[in-house]
Structure 1
């Protein structure tokens, strides 16, 4: 079923709060390269925030393939696994102005949810998605909190 807003579970994951408790969660961000190949990158809860069930903001590393693809096409698909479901979120993105005094230089984007598809199988349950282990959780979570704060400006 296609919807045009994030599920309550996905919205809760992406609300920018309690990053310490969410530090092991990662998602996939899909874009398309200039030669029309799919490109996959990982994104963490410290690089994306849902400001509403239909609006998100992303902070991406500059000069990456993913960032270049989004600047060129204005499109991406977020893939997250939560609450026993795969969530495929099509996004329409617009580049935001750079922050002159940002602590962490990122390309910032405002994203509108175009559609959301939730995927479950009748014969199997999804028990986890992409899980990560931070090497220096204290400094990474601090950077994430600062990045989320800057995304809200």
Structure 2
């Protein structure tokens, strides 16, 4: 099924709340490099927040390939597994001004959902996507919470 907004379960997952409970989930943020090839990067719940079902905010480390690709093309695709479905979410991104008093330097983007597609396997249950374990859980989750708060501003 294709639509132009996030499903309720994806919105709930990306709502910026209970980050500690979501710390093990990683998603793929796909862009296109200058060479025309896909570029994949992992993104966590501490770098993305859904403001509503049509707009997200993304905060990325500056000077990365992914950030440069987004600045150049204004496009990305978010790929994630949520509640037994793979979600492919095409985004049109607009660079936001830097927040002068940010605790953590990030390039911030407003991301409009252009297309959201869900995929399931008829022959198997999709149980997870990329799972991670944080080295310093307390420190990382505190950083995520601050970053998500600043992205909502």
- Residue 124 of structure 1 and its aligned partner are, at CA, apart by 1.1
Structure 2 counterparts to residues 80-91 of structure 1, below 5 A: 80-91=80-91
The answer on 1:63 being equivalent to 2:63 is yes
TM-score norm. by structure 2 comes to 0.99
Deviation string, structure 1 residues 97-121 (Cα, Å, up to 9, x no partner) = 0111110000000000000010011
- Residue 48 of structure 1 and its aligned partner are, at CA, apart by 0.2
* Alpha-carbon distance in structure 2 between the residues aligned to 1:72 and 1:150: 24
Give the length in aligned residue pairs: 153
SS of 1:123's partner is coil
Structure 2 unaligned spans of 5+ = none
Over 6 Å off, 4+ runs: none
* Alpha-carbon distance in structure 1 between the residues aligned to 2:9 and 2:2: 16
* Alpha-carbon distance in structure 2 between the residues aligned to 1:26 and 1:59: 15
The answer on 1:3 being equivalent to 2:24 is no
The answer on 1:38 being equivalent to 2:20 is no
More displaced 10-residue stretch of structure 1: 1-10 or 73-82:
1-10
TM-score norm. by structure 1 comes to 0.99
Structure 1 unaligned spans of 5+ = none
* Alpha-carbon distance in structure 2 between the residues aligned to 1:124 and 1:14: 25
Deviation string, structure 1 residues 36-73 (Cα, Å, up to 9, x no partner) = 00000000000000000010000000000000000000
Quote the residue 1:150 is aligned against. 150
The answer on 1:97 being equivalent to 2:97 is yes
Quote the residue 1:28 is aligned against. 28
SS of 1:21's partner is helix
- Residue 79 of structure 1 and its aligned partner are, at CA, apart by 0.2
